[in-house]
Amino acid sequence: MKIIMLGAPGAGKGTQAKKIAAKYQIPHISTGDIFRANIKNGTELGMKAKAFMDAGGLVPDEITIGMLLDRIQEADCAKGCVLDGFPRTIPQAESLTKALKDMGESIDYAVNVDVPDESIIRRMSGRRACLACGSTYHIVYNVPKTEGVCDVCGQQLVLRDDDKPETVKKRLDVYHEQTQPLIDYYKKTGVLAEVDGTMDMEEVFQAIVRILGA
The correct pick among 152, 177, 189, 206 for binding Zn ion (CB under 5 A) is 152
Rounded CA gap, 164 and 183, in Å?
A: 26
Catalytic residue among 19, 88, 123, 128: 88
Rounded CA gap, 71 and 91, in Å?
A: 18
Q: Which of 32, 19, 102, 96 is nearest to 65 (CA)?
A: 96
The correct pick among 133, 199, 201, 212 for binding Zn ion (CB under 5 A) is 133
Catalytic residue among 13, 18, 123, 128: 13
Q: Would you say 210 is a known binding-site residue?
A: no
Which residue number places its CB atom closest to ligand ADP?
A: 32
Rounded CA gap, 133 and 138, in Å?
A: 16
Q: Which of 88, 111, 107, 96 is nearest to 15 (CA)?
A: 111
CB of 147 to ligand ADP, least distance (A): 14
Nearer residue to ligand ADP within complex by CB, 60 or 154:
60
Query: Any catalytic annotation for residue 123?
Result: no
Query: Any catalytic annotation for residue 210?
Result: no
Q: Would you say 136 is a known binding-site residue?
A: yes
String of contacts with ligand ADP for each residue 52-71, x by CB under 6 A: xx---xxx----x-------
Rounded CA gap, 163 and 188, in Å?
A: 32
